[in-house]
Structure 1
Amino acid sequence: MLKFYKKVATLLLGLLLFSALLSYWCIQNTFSSRTLLPAAQSELPWHLSAETDHSQGGLSEVTFHDDRYSLDYSLSLSDVAQYPYAGVALNFTDDGGQPTMLDLTGYHKLSFNVKCVPANVLAFAAHTFEPGITQKDDPLSYRSPATYFSCDEQWSAVELDLTRLETPQWWLDKFELKLSMIDYQLNRVPRLVFGSTHQSPMLDSARVQINALELRGRDWRYLYLLAGVLGLAWLMAIIWLFRAHTRALTDALKLKLQKDRPLVAYQQLSVEPRRDRDKEAILRYLATEYANSELNLDGIASATGVGRSKINSILKAELGYTFTGYLNKVRLTEAARLLSAGPEPSIAEIAYSVGYKNVSYFNKLFKDEYGCTPKAFRNVYKDGAGDS
């Protein structure tokens, strides 16, 4: 069994290591993130552009101070246009610098730090491609679901939910869509926009600073994969352990029988010539009469003519057992042989045949000797024969 336990330890150690590595990989991929700022660390190429009300005849302006380490810009809103507006857009590009649309469905949060002087209320919008409506050269034809956030002269952390943006009513009215058609898809996003609102300061220069801009996502498929793979791996390991344990237990029991039979060679005991005829008489008598349920120390003393104390001394010196211990050893070894031979006879019949009147007592002695009940012993042998 020692070899089996070493295999179990190796298997468990390997499974634990495999589980830890797979869990780490799956969790890392489940909760992913993509840096947008600082720009040098961005995994999604983009370029910055100003968004103003000039197309409506307005005079609002945007002045850039930094677009590498942070979005640092100033807004100057004019009341000339009906709806004054100024903002900045992160336009996604491909590796060649050409405009492209990204699939952001794997991301559910946008996080960043922001500071505004003076205090401001700003809007964030993700422009999305709307099939049947959007024209690539018309920025207003892109659906622009948005949300709002506040900022002041102290740095603050903001986290926006990309899955709960609201489509503006003017866009639905412009394309004669029902107000209930608010669903949007983030699978084709050309730009992200930070802009002013009607609560932004008018006629004054308002400075906005944004850094640590990051997209965060989660993909539960990796956790499902983790559960499936680990469940299958551990199930297979348990099945293997059960079968390997059965084989190892069978081999151990067979080895025990092989070791015990020469020691207790009942019925066929071959005793080497000894000077002490008492030893030979005791061993031969036990080898032939062990099945007698009435056999006791007085009986063997009477039959061999050897004193009770001498019988125990001889057995202890020669075999390391007392009379009762050696008799049980002989009987249980024969019972184990009969159990390993097949499903017949019954356990009660075997107990009686090897000299036990009480089946419960026989079961207790057998379990003490072999570590399992007679029924389990027979099943182990049956399963072991099936595996081989």
Structure 2
Amino acid sequence: MHTLKRHALLAFIALLCASVVSGVASYRSSVLDAPLLPAPGLDAPWRIRAVADASPGGRSAVRLQDDGRRLRIDLHVAGAAANPYAQANLFFVDRTGQRVHADLARYSSVSFVATCAPANTLSLVAPTFEPGVSRRGDLLTYRSPSSFFSCSEAGTRVQLDLTRMETPQWWFAMFGLDLSRQSYRLDQVAKLAFGSTFQSPRDIDMALDISALQLHGRDPQPLVLCGALLLLAWGGFGWWFFRSHARALVADLHDKLQKDLPIVAYQQLSLEPHRDREKSAILHAIASRFADADLELEGVAHSAGVNRNKVNDVLKAELGFTFTGYLNKLRLTEAARLLAERDAATISEIAYTVGYNNVSYFNKLFKLEYGCTPKAFRAALGAPTEPPTPATSATIASTIRMARESPRQASG
């Protein structure tokens, strides 16, 4: 049993360490970070293009600078137009430079550092193709979820939730759609656009620097796979431990029955009954009456013809027990034999047979001695995988019977 516990502990620690390592690795694998600056991290790179209002009277302008690590966007929003705006568009393109839709469904947020002069409130727009509504290539028909952010000359770290942006009402009005239809997908995004808002200053030059532009998301597949593997691994460990513990318990019980100290004492006593009459008398007195619930130290001392101190001295010297400890050892050994042989007898009947009037106390002592309850002991010895050894019960029965039937050896 000790070997099993040591192996189980080592296996548990190894499995726990493997679980932690695999959990951390799968968590890291599930975290998606796609840098758009300084270098595109998507399968589809992007090209930047300036767009400004083209309505009558519109004189807004945009000038772009891209050094590979940051975007410098110079904006000038003219107030003459009815709805002036200026934008820097990051169109997604394929390897040949043709515009494509990027699949951003795995990403939930975008972060960047924005520095602008003067302080300003700007927008981020992510036009996405809406099946059944949008016309491919006509960006005016695309749903245009947008979010807003503030920036200043000191620089601002911005993180926007791509899944909770607002769709402008004019888009719903254009197609006669219900305003409650707010959900959208990001699997066909045409571009990302940084631009002005109606709160942007008019008729002055503005500068916007965007750096550390990055998409963030989570892929649940590594976590699900790791969870399934860990469930199988821990389930296998539990099954192995249960089976091994059952086998080890049966083997341990058999070994304990075969090597019980009182049984060894009986055998030695039968071989050399005249070596020490006092010792023999004490041991015989206990063995012949141990099933008597009223047996006490004084009664044993009187039967053996010695004083009570002599009884304890002999038991300590010969067997390492006190009187109470040795008496319980004999009773529990006999109880184990009866449990192994008498399937029809109840636990209470066996407890009374070996000298215990309190069944709860008997159960407590038995569990301390054999590491399991009497019921579990009987079930273990009855397990089909390892049937009980016949020699064990025979040895117990014969030695106890020998001690009970030899009162003359104690006196002679």
Q: In the alignment, what sits opposite 1:204?
A: 204
Q: In the alignment, what sits opposite 1:12?
A: 12
- The offset of 1:74, in angstroms, is 0.7
Asked if structure 1 preserves the Cα contact closer than 8 Å seen for 2:86 and 2:196, the reply is: yes
Matches within 5 A, 1:173-212: 173-212=173-212
- The offset of 1:193, in angstroms, is 0.7
Distance 1:67 1:183, change over 3 A: farther
Task: Give CA deviations for 1:248-286 in whole Å, capped at 9, x if unaligned.
Answer: 3332222111111773475x7773347626256665676
**Larger deviation: 318-327 or 142-151?**
318-327
Matches within 5 A, 1:58-77: 58-77=58-77
Q: Take 2:291 and 2:264, find their aligned partners in 1: how far apart are those partners? A: 13
Q: Take 1:226 and 1:295, find their aligned partners in 2: how far apart are those partners? A: 63
Q: Take 1:334 and 1:313, find their aligned partners in 2: how far apart are those partners? A: 24
Matches within 5 A, 1:132-211: 132-211=132-211
SS of the aligned residue for 2:137 comes to: coil
Q: Take 1:204 and 1:98, find their aligned partners in 2: how far apart are those partners? A: 35
Asked if structure 1 preserves the Cα contact closer than 8 Å seen for 2:261 and 2:319, the reply is: no
**Larger deviation: 92-101 or 318-327?**
318-327
Q: In the alignment, what sits opposite 1:250?
A: 250
Distance 1:207 1:363, change over 3 A: closer
**Larger deviation: 218-227 or 257-266?**
218-227
Distance 1:305 1:142, change over 3 A: closer
Asked if structure 2 preserves the Cα contact closer than 8 Å seen for 1:34 and 1:43, the reply is: no
Asked if structure 2 preserves the Cα contact closer than 8 Å seen for 1:269 and 1:284, the reply is: no
**Larger deviation: 318-327 or 152-161?**
318-327
Q: In the alignment, what sits opposite 2:349?
A: 349
Q: Take 2:366 and 2:324, find their aligned partners in 1: how far apart are those partners? A: 14
Q: Take 2:364 and 2:148, find their aligned partners in 1: how far apart are those partners? A: 78
SS of the aligned residue for 2:163 comes to: coil
The number of residue pairs the alignment matches comes to 386
Q: Take 2:293 and 2:115, find their aligned partners in 1: how far apart are those partners? A: 97
Q: In the alignment, what sits opposite 1:103?
A: 103
Distance 1:42 1:208, change over 3 A: farther
Distance 1:135 1:57, change over 3 A: farther
Asked if structure 2 preserves the Cα contact closer than 8 Å seen for 1:85 and 1:196, the reply is: yes
SS of the aligned residue for 1:27 comes to: helix
Asked if structure 2 preserves the Cα contact closer than 8 Å seen for 1:34 and 1:216, the reply is: yes
Q: In the alignment, what sits opposite 1:115?
A: 115
CA RMSD of aligned residues (A): 3.7
- The offset of 1:336, in angstroms, is 0.9
SS of the aligned residue for 2:270 comes to: coil
**Larger deviation: 49-58 or 337-346?**
49-58
Q: In the alignment, what sits opposite 2:271?
A: 272
Task: Give CA deviations for 1:306-332 in whole Å, capped at 9, x if unaligned.
Answer: 777666555544433455544442332
Q: Take 1:280 and 1:357, find their aligned partners in 2: how far apart are those partners? A: 28
Asked if structure 1 preserves the Cα contact closer than 8 Å seen for 2:114 and 2:209, the reply is: yes
Q: Take 2:185 and 2:358, find their aligned partners in 1: how far apart are those partners? A: 79
Asked if structure 1 preserves the Cα contact closer than 8 Å seen for 2:34 and 2:40, the reply is: no
Asked if structure 1 preserves the Cα contact closer than 8 Å seen for 2:102 and 2:189, the reply is: yes
Q: Percent identity?
A: 47
Distance 1:332 1:104, change over 3 A: same
Distance 1:316 1:115, change over 3 A: closer
Q: Which runs of 5+ in 2 are unaligned?
A: 388-412
Distance 1:368 1:53, change over 3 A: closer
TM-score normalized by structure 1?
Answer: 0.81
- The offset of 1:9, in angstroms, is 1.2
TM-score normalized by structure 2?
Answer: 0.77
